[in-house]
Amino acid sequence: MTTLRVAIAGAGGRMGQANIRAVAATPGLLLHSAFDRPGSSAIGRDAGELAGAGPLGVAIGDNAEAALEGADVLIDFTAPAVSVLLAELAAPRGLVHIIGTTGCSREEDWAIQKAGSAGARIVKSGNFSLGINMLLGLVRQAAKALPGYDIEVLEMHHNKKVDAPSGTALMLGRAAAEGRGVDLDQHAVKVRDGHTGAREPGSIGFATLRGGGVIGEHSVILAGDTERIVLSHSAQERGMFAAGAVQAALWAADQPPGYYGMADVLGFTE
Ligand code: NAD
């Protein structure tokens, strides 16, 4: 088996460190480089030591281009503008680019997809866990089977999270909209405040909670007049996202250039 050399972006971050641990523990992957933004306190530290995986002999740098030199894979859980820039660097190098960054605007998503058609093998997902990707199928099915039920998506995350609703909540909302055969953008209600009037039939509501160290809690509630169904997922450890990211990297290495999602990696069609 060929060993894939992996560069980790955002190496000092919560997910960057989880990704370093996952790469170090995965046969067929080698930590090639790790980098963060200039000025980060992680610069110069041994990536493995910082991540709690023991010394790996890779110092965290602050230069993306230098880090990508000689790499096969880039794992990128950073910020939207950073992922767009990294997609532009990954495409001409023909890299596997695994993107977990959430909160991208439509334009940022479009710019990233364009890079996929320019040579990179991109796998982008708002959630790399197996459980959430299973849940998406269940939500799609339930929304289709229960057309009269009101759908609400509830999420809670740690107090450092910068985007809302979470990327995963939006994916769940989109799955519900697909089940109903409607466009999420036209049916989503992301904020309620003041005298809102009665609930708009057919809308898909979102509620966002932030606090403490919560890694990720998501529930999709289907509320009928006399009963309620709650489909939930609870993330207990960031390693679960990192395990999905390395699985995606190994899968994408054998794919032609393009833009993929986690459903492609897992072989889920529904
Ligand atoms: P974090 O703030 O702990 O880490 C982000 C890191 O990116 C920081 O270390 C930051 O310094 C670094 N960074 C910023 N600018 C950079 C640059 N120009 N070059 C290199 N590094 C740079 O955040 P986090 O909790 O690790 O989350 C990161 C992203 O991943 C968020 O968008 C979050 O929502 C998302 N996330 C996705 C999943 C998933 O499964 N898709 C799971 C968890 C988190």
Q: Which SS3 state, helix, strand or coil, does residue 71 take?
A: coil
- pLDDT tens figures, 61-89: 999 999 999 999 999 999 999 999 999 99
- 179 Cβ contact partners less than 8 Å away, ≥ 6 residues apart: 139, 140, 141, 142, 143, 144, 145
* DSSP codes joined into one string, 168-237: HHHHHHHHHHHHHTS-HHHHEE----SS--SPPTT-EEEEEEE-TT---EEEEEEE-SS-EEEEEEE---
Q: What is the pLDDT of residue 268?
A: 81
Long-range contacts of 160-165 (CB under 8 A, 24+ apart): 160/14, 161/210, 162/79, 162/103, 163/102, 163/103, 164/208, 164/210, 165/190, 165/206, 165/208
Report the pLDDT value the prediction gives residue 50, as an integer from 0 to 100.
Answer: 98
Residue 24 has what DSSP assignment?
Answer: H
Give me ligand 1 centre to Cα 16, in Å.
7
Taking the CB of residue 60, how many other CB atoms lie within 10 A of it? Answer: 25
User: To test the ligand 1 pocket, which listed residue (20, 21, 36) has its Cβ within 8 A of the most ligand atoms?
Assistant: 36
SS3 255: coil
Nearest to 264 by CA among 254, 250, 251: 251
Q: Which tokens hold the place of 156?
A: 């809670």
Which percentage of the chain shows pLDDT scores above 90?
A: 95
Domain definitions of the chain by residue range: 4-128+238-266, 130-234
Matching CATH topology for 4-128+238-266 and 130-234? Answer: no
The pLDDT tens digits of the residues spanning 173-222 come to 999 999 999 999 999 999 999 999 999 999 999 999 999 999 999 999 99
Query: Which of 4, 34, 37 minimizes the C-alpha distance to 19?
Result: 34
Task: Establish whether residue 100 lines the binding site of ligand 1, counting it when its CB lies within 6 angstroms of any ligand atom.
Answer: yes
Ligand 1 atom nearest to 127, measured from its CA: 40
In the CATH scheme, what is the homologous superfamily, with its name and number, of domain 130-234?
Dihydrodipicolinate Reductase; domain 2 (3.30.360.10)
Question: 124 an active-site residue?
Answer: no
- Indicate whether residue 80 lines ligand 1 (CB < 6 A): no
Under 8 Å between Cβ of 32 and 47: no
Q: Is the pLDDT of residue 269 over 70?
A: no
Tell me: the pLDDT tens digits for 15-42?
999 999 999 999 999 999 999 999 999 9
In the chain, the N- to C-terminal Cα span, in Å, equals 31
Give the nearest ligand 1 atom to 167 CA. Answer: 34
- DSSP states of 47-70: HHHHHTS---S-BEES-HHHHHTT
4-128+238-266 homologous superfamily: NAD(P)-binding Rossmann-like Domain (3.40.50.720)
Kindly report, residue by residue over 111-135, the tens digit of the pLDDT: 999 887 789 999 999 999 999 999 9
